[in-house]
């Protein structure tokens, strides 16, 4: 295929990515890869095709395809290939590593960034997210706005993780809580959104429709000190200690 034909295909692919047309985009991307990647994976056109592939997989929410495209793209970036999309792709890759909890790789990627690259809004976004998650500043994480629509898929995953962490804390901190207060603490826009979350992820939470409240641990299953066989464990421990002393 001629250079003009490849350029036309790249333009077509870019339009499909912007339109969110995943299926047609994947078909064009596969044809481009056959034309470009086997010849020279570090050529500007090949790099552009892979970058569009990363954006396409982020739009589709296909983490495996995202990882494959990034694996093919990274050698070109490491080789110093310049690209106007590099900051965007780097930011998405950091989000991917953060979502997968691959923090060692996350920090390893940061070491390769220059100060200028790290200060780009598309790159600094996941960096600040990681810091806030590490110190538990969940309010700020939940209120963050993504710097580009392609980040939303990864952000949704992180928000789910953060809400799960808040839910874990709530259910061990309160015997019951008003629905509106719980929705506020978990940064839901409405009680209805909280109820959808409960139905899907916390079916052990009991909703009291009359009081508009939640109960996290029913009294019938609550563990009391009397339920703990403390004397039995003490006697066993003493027996083990006596036996060990006899053997020694």
Query: What is the rounded end-to-end Cα distance, in angstroms, of the chain?
Result: 83
3-state secondary structure 56-99: HHHHHCCHHHHHHHHHHHHHHHHCCCCCCCHHHHHHHHHHHHHH
Nearest to 55 by CA among 141, 154, 128: 154
Q: For the chain, how many structural domains are there in total?
A: 1
> Residue 136: inside a domain, yes or no?
no
> Residue 175: inside a domain, yes or no?
no
Q: Are 43 and 49 in contact (CB under 8 A)?
A: no
Q: Which residues contact 237 (CB under 8 A, 6 or more apart)?
A: none
Nearest to 85 by CA among 189, 13, 1, 35: 13
Task: For residues 14-25, give the mean pLDDT.
Answer: 90
Task: For residues 182-187, give the mean pLDDT.
Answer: 89
Domain that holds residue 57: 1-83
| Rounded distance between C-alpha atoms, residue 86 and residue 161, angstroms | 27
> Residue 104: inside a domain, yes or no?
no
Q: Which long-range contacts (CB under 8 A, 24 or more apart) does 95-98 make?
A: 95/125, 95/126, 95/129, 95/151, 95/154, 95/155, 95/158, 96/63, 96/66, 96/67, 96/70, 96/154, 98/126, 98/129, 98/130, 98/133, 98/154, 98/158
Both tokens of 122, joined, read: 């598309």
Q: Are 141 and 132 in contact (CB under 8 A)?
A: yes
Per-residue pLDDT tens digits for 213-248: 999 865 444 444 444 454 444 445 444 444 444 444
pTM as predicted: 0.73
Amino acid 230: pLDDT: 44
Burial class (CB in 10 A: 0-12, 13-18, 19+), 225: exposed
| Mean pLDDT score across all residues of the chain | 83
Per-residue pLDDT tens digits for 44-97: 888 899 999 999 999 998 989 999 999 989 888 888 888 999 999 999 999 999
> Residue 57: inside a domain, yes or no?
yes
Q: Which residues contact 188 (CB under 8 A, 6 or more apart)?
A: 194, 197
> Residue 219: inside a domain, yes or no?
no
Both tokens of 238, joined, read: 């003493």
> Residue 239: inside a domain, yes or no?
no
Both tokens of 164, joined, read: 């799960």
3-class SS of residue 188: coil
Amino acid 43: pLDDT: 80
> Residue 48: inside a domain, yes or no?
yes
Both tokens of 205, joined, read: 């939470």
> Residue 173: inside a domain, yes or no?
no
Q: Which residues contact 39 (CB under 8 A, 6 or more apart)?
A: 46
Task: For residues 127-131, give the mean pLDDT.
Answer: 94
């Amino acid at each position: 295929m001629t250079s003009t034909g490849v350029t036309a295909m790249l333009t077509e692919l870019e339009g499909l990515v912007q339109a969110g047309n995943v299926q047609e985009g994947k078909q064009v991307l596969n044809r481009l890869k056959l034309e470009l990647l086997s010849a020279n994976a570090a050529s500007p056109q090949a790099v552009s095709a892979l970058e569009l592939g990363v954006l396409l997989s982020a739009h589709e929410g296909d983490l495996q395809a995202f990882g494959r495209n990034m694996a093919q793209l990274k050698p070109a970036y490491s080789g110093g290939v310049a690209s106007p999309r590099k900051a965007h792709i780097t930011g998405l890759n950091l989000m991917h590593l953060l979502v997968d909890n691959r923090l060692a790789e996350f920090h390893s990627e940061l070491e390769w960034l220059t100060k200028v690259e790290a200060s780009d809004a598309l790159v600094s976004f996941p960096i600040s997210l990681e810091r806030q998650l590490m110190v538990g500043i969940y309010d700020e994480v939940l209120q963050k706005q993504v710097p580009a629509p392609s980040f939303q898929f990864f952000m949704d995953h992180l928000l789910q993780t953060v809400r799960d962490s808040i839910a874990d804390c709530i259910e061990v901190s309160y015997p019951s809580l008003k629905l509106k207060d719980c929705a506020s603490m978990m940064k839901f826009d409405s009680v209805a959104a909280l109820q959808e979350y409960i139905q899907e992820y916390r079916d052990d939470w009991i909703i009291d429709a009359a009081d508009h409240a939640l109960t996290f641990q029913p009294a019938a299953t609550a563990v009391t000190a009397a339920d703990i066989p403390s004397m039995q464990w003490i006697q066993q421990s003493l027996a083990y200690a006596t036996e060990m002393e006899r053997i020694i």
